[in-house]
Structure formats: C-alpha cells, structure tokens
C-alpha cells in the first residue's frame, strides 16, 4: 500500500535574523548566489539545521506521533508537508485531501466572522461552497460556538479559534490529517471529543501525523512515534519505546552538589526495566549518589510524574516517620525505593530529591533519573488503576426493599 504521508531524507535549515536591510544589500547578494552558488548542505554562520535527515512514511489507517522538546522541528515537519515551507534537501509529500490544523487561527481573516471564515477555510482545504454549506450545521455543532458564528474572529479566544479550526479540518473528509499541539488550548471536554474524532478517522482509513507533548494522547492514538531532538539523529519506533527514551534522556537535571554514580529501575525479576509493564507491577529504584557537600538531617523525597506533567505521587519516608541521616561531604548515599505502579497507560518519570525536613539547606534536585511505560488496553481513560470489581443486578419493580423515586 502506497504511503499517504512520505518524508524522504529531509533536511531543513533556517537563518538567524534578517538577511538584508536594504536594496543595496539585496543586489550584490543575488549576483553572488547566481555566479557562486553554495551547496544546499553548507551552513553559513547565520544558518542552523532545524531538521536533519528525517525519514518516515504513514500509510492509510496509521497514526504517527511526533514528539520532542521545543525547537526540535515538530511544527516545521508539518509545515513542510502542507507546503507552507520547502525542504532544503529531500522530498516530502501527501496523497489525497488534507485536513490540517497547524497554528491557531492560521488562514482565518481577523475581520471576517466565524461563519465567513468557515467558508474561507473550507475553500482553502478543497471543499466546494455547496459542500461547505451542506456540512455547516455539523461543523458549528462540533465547534460548540454557534452563538458566536456571526462575530469577527478577532473577538475569539484562542480556545474558540482552536474549536472552529479543528471542527473545519475534521469535516473535510480528509485522507490525511496533520494536527499540531493547538488542541492543548481547548478545554478538557473538547479535547476528548477531538481525540475521539481522530480515532474515528484512523479507523476509517485516514493517515494521521500528530504533534503533541501529551504522551497519553500519543500512546492512545498512535502506532509509532518519531522523536526529534535538536542537533541529534531522529528516532522512529514503537510509541512506548520512543516515549520512554524521550522521558529518560531529555530533561534530566542533577544538582551540582551531587554526582549520580549508578541508577537502575528494575522489575520483579531484578533485571533493568526495558519494556512496558502492566498496571500494578512492583518496581524498584536503586540509586548511588556521591555528595560534594555535607547534608545533615538528610532524607529522600520520591516523585512520579506523568509525561504530560501530572504529579502522580509525591512522598517521603521522613513524613512517614523514618529517621533522617547525616551525610558527610565526599560520601556516597545509597537509596532504594520499591513501589507498585498502580497507574494506567502512559510514560512516567521518576524524580528523587534530597531534603532537610527543617529546611536549613535547599533541596538537592535529581530530575528524570529513570522512567517507565505502562501499557494496557482494557481501560477507557483515567490515570489510576483502581482494580474495580463489577456487579450488576436487575431488580423487579416489586422487589422487597426497593423504593422507586418518581
């Protein structure tokens, strides 16, 4: 099956600042480029690579999640696919009708009303006026802003812009959907409606490229993930593996007062954790850290944070009543934490901080020491594994002790 989305060895560079200030600068520069062309892969001191040798393909019915830190080139990749930008080298293309939501209010005219912009965006995305009119009620209903459709969009909030933009993109019957992080500005209920709509499109055979920092949404919707990292090679693979790598490698912070000598996260077999685990799995974190300063009355603070920033757990043995220890400069502190991962699917980062319960010295922060991925397919949504036991009984109207409220 032919890919609906193709990125083939794409490189893209940008230039820092403005290149020319006047016509006097433009004319000599044009002659230099004409008679002394440079290879496209060369960089001047003002240029930098945003994407380097990126390749991927998405077939109909597949969804690719694009993740990475800010500035890694995620939005640039989507803009290349929509031909807003051209690659420096390489090729990228999409097949079929495209529904794209790259930037909030992109393509909207601020002085036109929501209704007028709906027709304008529909035309940009390839719909005829008759087709747009036929889908008008469905688009307005999905966006949930019917009372504001005759208001100029310059009066809209960012959330209202996102609602209208996604509603239009979701009703062009696309073969390809390109979605950026703009859904993050919507309220919770609208986000859930959008994610459900994306899942419907995937089941119907649309190809999806989805940029997001929400690992829960990426894990739920996508088959594979592409990790983009500034100045480093991209990584393409299964969502759980790529998300775990992103959480464990990116954003690690260790206080200068300590040096982490060893850190392992293992499962019940005592082997280092390398694969996703099921909810309720018992995990063990073991850490050796060398201190360069004295840390009197020292205790540990254990945190587990989901990749979208949700604090899942924050606790300390000091609060539980355990005694603190005095750590001398140059000594090694060994910490061991065993816990049960009663959480649902997602990627989770472990932070461990050293602290003085009297707060006489500032906490020593060690962020992103390890990460783990939980995978399950039997829960609809949520963050905690509650292990419910269900029982449903049908009682007749005349059953003893049953009172009907009318």
Q: Report the CATH number at residue 330.
A: 2.70.50.60
Q: What φ, ψ does residue 160 adopt, rounded to 5°?
A: -70, -40
**What is the rounded average pLDDT of the residues 114-124?**
90
* 60 shares its domain with 197: yes
Best-predicted range by mean pLDDT (43-57, 136-150, 234-248, 364-378)? 136-150
pLDDT of residue 250: 53
pLDDT at 68: 83
Q: Would you say residue 351 has pLDDT above 60?
A: yes
Are 206 and 175 in contact, with CB atoms under 8 Å apart?
A: yes
* Nearest partner of 311 among 383, 400, 402, 222, judged by Cα: 383
Amino acid 34: pLDDT: 63
Is 86 found in the same domain as 232?
yes
Token digits of residue 256: 């200068």
Same domain, 80 and 153: yes
Whole-angstrom CA distances from 256 to 253, 259, 291, 295, 308 are: 9, 7, 9, 13, 26
Residues 212 and 264 in one domain: no
Residue ending a domain, choose from 231, 246, 261: 246
87-91, 158-162, 285-289: the lowest-pLDDT one: 158-162
- Averaged pLDDT score across all residues of the chain: 84
How far apart, in Å, do the first and last CA atoms of the chain sit?
A: 58
- Structural domain of residue 198, as residue ranges? 5-246
CA dihedral 157, 161, 167, 171 (to 10 degrees): 160
Q: Check residue 19 and give its pLDDT.
A: 52
Confidence of residue 405 (pLDDT cuts 50, 70, 90): low
pLDDT category at 357 given cuts 50, 70, 90 is confident
Residue 397 belongs to a domain: no
* Whether the predicted pLDDT of 301 surpasses 60: yes
209 and 276 both lie in a single domain = no
Residue 205 within a domain = yes
Cα(123)–Cα(117) distance, rounded to whole angstroms?
10
Q: Tens digit of pLDDT for each residue in 181-229?
A: 766 666 777 888 888 888 888 899 999 999 987 777 787 788 899 998 8
Residues 220 and 310 in one domain: no
Last residue of one domain, picked from the residues 246, 272, 299: 246
Helix H or strand E encompassing 301 = strand 295-306
149 plus 209 within the same structural domain: yes
Question: 358 exposed, middle or buried (CB, 10 Å; 0-12, 13-18, 19+)?
Answer: exposed
How many residues would you count in the chain?
Answer: 406
Same domain? For 58 and 170 the reply is: yes
Statement to judge: residues 205 and 72 lie in one domain: yes
Q: Are residues 96 and 27 in the same domain?
A: yes
Tell me the mean pLDDT in the region 271-277. Answer: 82
pLDDT of res. 24: 52
Q: Is the pLDDT of residue 134 over 70?
A: yes
Asked if residue 404 has pLDDT above 60, the reply is no
Distance of CA 180 to the CA centre of its chain: 9
pLDDT digits (tens, 9 = 90+) for 305-338: 887 667 899 999 988 889 999 999 999 999 999 9
Q: What is the C-alpha separation between 99 and 97, in angstroms, rounded?
A: 7
Domain end: 216, 231, 246, which one? 246
What separation in angstroms does the CA of 253 have from each of 9, 17, 193, 242?
32, 31, 36, 20
Computed over its alpha carbons, how large is the radius of gyration of the chain? 26
pLDDT at 20: 46
DSSP E strands in 128-175: the ranges are: none
3-class secondary-structure state, position 118:
helix
Instruction: Find the helix packing angle between 129-143 and 158-169, rounded to 10°.
Output: 130
- Residue 225 inside a domain? The answer is yes
Q: Given the structure tokens 């694969």, which residue do they identify?
A: 275
- Give residue 371's pLDDT: 86
* pLDDT at residue 21 greater than cutoff 50: no
Position 242 in a domain: yes
How many domains is the chain partitioned into structurally?
2
Question: Residue 174's domain is classified under what CATH number?
Answer: 3.40.50.300
Per-residue pLDDT at 272: 81
For the chain, give the percent of residues with pLDDT over 70.
Answer: 86
């Amino acid at each position: 099956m032919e890919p609906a989305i193709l990125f083939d060895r794409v490189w893209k560079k940008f230039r820092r600042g403005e290149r020319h200030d006047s016509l006097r600068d433009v004319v000599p520069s044009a002659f230099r480029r004409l008679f002394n062309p440079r290879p496209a892969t060369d960089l001047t001191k003002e240029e930098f690579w945003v994407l380097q040798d990126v390749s991927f393909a998405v077939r109909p019915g597949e969804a690719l999640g694009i993740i990475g830190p800010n500035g890694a080139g995620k939005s640039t990749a989507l803009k290349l696919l929509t031909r807003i930008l051209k690659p420096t080298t390489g090729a990228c293309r999409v097949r079929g009708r495209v529904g794209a939501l790259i930037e909030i209010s992109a393509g909207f005219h601020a002085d036109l009303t929501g209704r007028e912009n709906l027709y304008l965006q529909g035309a940009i995305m390839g719909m005829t006026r008759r087709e747009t009119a036929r889908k008008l009620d469905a688009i307005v209903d999905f966006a949930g802003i019917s009372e504001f459709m005759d208001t100029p969009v310059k009066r809209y909030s960012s959330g209202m812009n996102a609602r209208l933009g996604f509603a239009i993109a979701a009703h062009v019957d696309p073969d390809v959907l390109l979605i950026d992080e703009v859904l993050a500005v919507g309220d919770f209920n609208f986000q859930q409606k959008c994610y459900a709509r994306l899942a419907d499109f995937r089941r119907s055979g649309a190809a999806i490229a989805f940029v997001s920092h929400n690992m829960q949404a990426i894990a739920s919707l996508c088959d594979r993930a592409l990790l983009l990292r500034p100045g480093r090679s991209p990584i393409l693979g299964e969502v759980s593996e790529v998300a775990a790598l992103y959480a464990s490698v990116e954003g690690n912070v260790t206080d200068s007062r300590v040096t982490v000598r060893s850190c392992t996260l293992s499962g019940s077999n005592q082997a280092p954790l390398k694969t996703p685990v099921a909810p309720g799995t018992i995990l063990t974190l073991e850490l050796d850290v060398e201190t360069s300063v004295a840390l009197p009355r020292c205790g540990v603070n254990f945190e587990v944070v989901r990749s979208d920033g949700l604090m899942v757990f924050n606790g300390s043995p000091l609060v539980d009543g355990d005694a603190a220890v005095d750590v001398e400069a140059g000594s090694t502190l060994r910490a061991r934490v065993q816990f049960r991962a009663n959480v649902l699917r997602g990627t989770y980062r472990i932070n461990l901080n050293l602290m003085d319960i009297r707060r006489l010295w500032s906490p020593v922060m060690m962020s992103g020491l390890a990460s783990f991925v939980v995978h399950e397919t039997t829960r609809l949504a949520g963050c905690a594994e509650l292990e419910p036991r269900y029982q449903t009984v049908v009682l007749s109207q005349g059953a003893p002790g049953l009172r009907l409220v009318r």
